[in-house]
């Protein structure tokens, strides 16, 4: 199993840690923003495994800039 540092910069699915790095915040802030509806919510794949879709985040960013 590859470690997280081996994952490309923009994989299709991002962890909370990767989204936090992209937003320049702490990963707990990512969860707070998602819970408040200020960023797209993650997709839950299994119990304890949630990921954000890169395309959804890009679309959200583009809408925020527009």
Q: How far apart are CA 30 and CA 20, in angstroms?
A: 6
What is the pTM assigned to this prediction? 0.80
Specify the CATH architecture of the domain 12-65. Answer: Orthogonal Bundle (1.10)
In this structure, are residues 21 and 4 in contact, taking their beta carbons and an 8 Å threshold? no
The per-residue pLDDT for range 16-45, each reduced to its tens digit, is 999 999 999 999 999 999 999 999 999 998
Give the residue from 60, 59, 43 showing the smallest Cα distance to 51. Answer: 43
Domain residue ranges in the chain: 12-65
The per-residue pLDDT for range 48-65, each reduced to its tens digit, is 899 999 999 999 999 988
pLDDT given at position 9: 53
């Amino acid at each position: 199993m590859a470690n997280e540092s081996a994952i490309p910069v923009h994989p299709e699915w991002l962890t909370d840690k990767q989204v936090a790095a992209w937003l320049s915040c702490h990963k707990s802030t990512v969860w707070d923003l998602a819970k408040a509806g200020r960023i797209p919510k993650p997709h839950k794949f299994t119990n304890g495994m949630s990921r954000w879709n890169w395309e959804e985040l890009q679309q959200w960013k583009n809408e925020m800039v527009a």
